[in-house]
Chain A
Amino acid sequence: MFFSIALYIALAIFVGGLIYKIGTWFSLKIATQAQTISPSQRLLAAVKGIVLTILSAKILTLIKVFFLDIILQRKVFQESRFRWLIHILIYGGFMFLVLMHALDPIITVGIFPDYAPTLNPFLFLRDLFGVLVIVGVILAVYRRYILKAPRLTTTTMDTYALIILAVIIVSGIILEGTKITSYTRYQEMVNDYAGLEEGEDDYQALTAFWVKEFSMISPDITAPFDSSLIEEGREIHEMSCAGCHSKPQWGFGGFLVAKATKGISLPIDRAHIPSVLWYIHFLACFIGLAYLPFSKFLHIITSPLSLLANSVMSKRTSYPVNIATRQALEFDACMHCGQCTGRCSVGIMSEALQNVNILPSEKIPSLKKVSSGKEMAEGEFRTILEGAYVCTNCHRCTDVCPAGINLEDLWFNMREEMFQRNYPLFFALSPLSFYRGLMRETMPDSDYERPLDQAREAIIASYDLMKSQDRAITLNPADQDLRSGLLLSDQANTFQMCFGCQTCTNVCPVVANYENPKEVLGMLPHEIMYAAGLGIKDLAFGSRMLWDCTTCYQCQEQCPQGVRVTEVLYELKNLAIANATTAKG
Chain B
Amino acid sequence: MKFALFLGCNIPARLKQYESSTRAVLGNLGVELVDIKEFNCCGYPMRNIDFKTSILAAARNLALAEKQGLNMIVLCMCGYGMLKKADHAMKEEPSLREVINTTLKKEGLQFRGDLEIRHLLSVLYNEVSVEAIRQRVTRPFKDLKIATHYGCHALRPSEIVQFDDPVNPTLFDKLVEATGAQSIYWQSRLDCCGAPLFGINDNLSMDLAEKKLLDAKRSGAHYLCDACTYCHLQFDTVQEMISTKRGENHLLPAILYPQLLGLSMGIDERILGLEMNHIDISGIKGFLSE
Q: Decide whether A and B assemble into one complex.
A: yes
Shortest C-beta distance, B132 to chain A (Å), equals 31
- Chain B residues with Cβ below 8 Å from A554 are 152, 156, 191-192
- A residues less than 8 Å from B47 (CB atoms): 430, 551, 570
Residues of chain A contacted by B162 (CB below 8 angstroms): none
List the 8 shortest-distance A-B pairs measured between CB atoms, nearest first: A433-B199, A437-B199, A553-B156, A394-B9, A552-B192, A430-B48, A392-B9, A352-B53
A556 and B159 CA atoms in complex are apart in Å by 11
The answer for the CA separation of A204 and B93 in the assembled complex, in Å, is 88
20 further A-B pairs in the complex, CB-CB below 8 A; given A393-B9, A513-B211: A345-B40, A348-B103, A352-B50, A396-B12, A432-B46, A433-B198, A437-B198, A437-B200, A438-B237, A489-B89, A490-B96, A509-B191, A510-B204, A551-B196, A552-B152, A552-B192, A554-B152, A566-B157, A574-B48, A574-B49
* Chain B, residue nearest A389 (CB): B49
Output the nearest chain A residue to B102 by Cβ-Cβ distance. Answer: A351
Min distance, Cβ A424 to any Cβ of chain B, angstroms:
14
Q: Is the CB–CB distance between A352 and B56 below 8 Å?
A: yes
Residue in contact with A435 in the complex, picked from B48, B199, B208, CB distance below 8 Å:
B199
Q: Which of B75-96 contact A (CB under 8 A)?
A: 78, 88-89, 92-93, 96
Interface residues on B, range: 35 or more
Complex interface: chain B residues within 8 A of A262 (CB): none
Interface residues in A534-585 by Cβ distance below 8 A to B read 547-548, 550-554, 556-557, 564, 566, 570-571, 573-574, 577-578
Within residues 157 to 184 of chain A, which ones have a CB less than 8 A from any CB in chain B? none
A488 interface contact, C-beta 8 A: yes
Contact A395 B198 (CB under 8 A): no
How distant is A316 from chain B, measured CB to nearest CB, in Å? 15
What are 15 of the A-B contact pairs (CB < 8 Å)?
Answer: A150-B107, A344-B40, A346-B46, A349-B41, A390-B46, A426-B49, A430-B200, A437-B205, A488-B52, A490-B93, A490-B96, A553-B153, A554-B152, A554-B156, A573-B49
Residue B1 at the chain A interface, CB threshold 8 Å = no
Contact in complex: B45, A392 (CB < 8 Å): yes
Q: Is the CB of A349 within 8 A of B46?
A: yes
Interface residue A427 (Cβ < 8 Å from any Cβ of B): yes
Counting chain A residues whose Cβ lies within 8 A of the other chain, the interface size class is 35 or more
Q: Which residues of B contact A513 (CB under 8 A)?
A: 204, 207-208, 211
Q: In the complex the two chains form, is A557's CB within 8 Å of B157's CB?
A: yes
Given contacts A394-B41, A429-B48, A490-B93, contact A437 B202 (CB under 8 A): yes
B36 within 8 Å of A (CB atoms)? no
Q: A430 touching B106 by the CB < 8 A rule?
A: no
The residues of B that contact A551 with a CB separation of less than 8 Å are 47, 152-153, 196
A430: chain B residues within 8 A (beta carbon): 45-49, 200
B197 surroundings in chain A (CB, below 8 A)? 548, 550
Chain B positions 124-154 with a Cβ under 8 Å from a chain A Cβ? 152-153
Query: A349, A441, A556: which contacts B57 (Cβ < 8 A)?
Result: A349
Cross-chain contact A434 with B46 (CB below 8 angstroms):
no
Bound form: Cα–Cα A141–B290 in Å: 64
Complex formed: what's the CA distance from A94 to B87 in Å? 51
Shortest Cβ gap from B197 to chain A (Å): 5
**Chain B residues closer than 8 Å to A550, beta-carbon distance:** 152, 192, 194, 196-197, 204-205, 208
B249 at the interface (CB under 8 A from A): no
Residues of A within 8 A of B60 (CB): 348
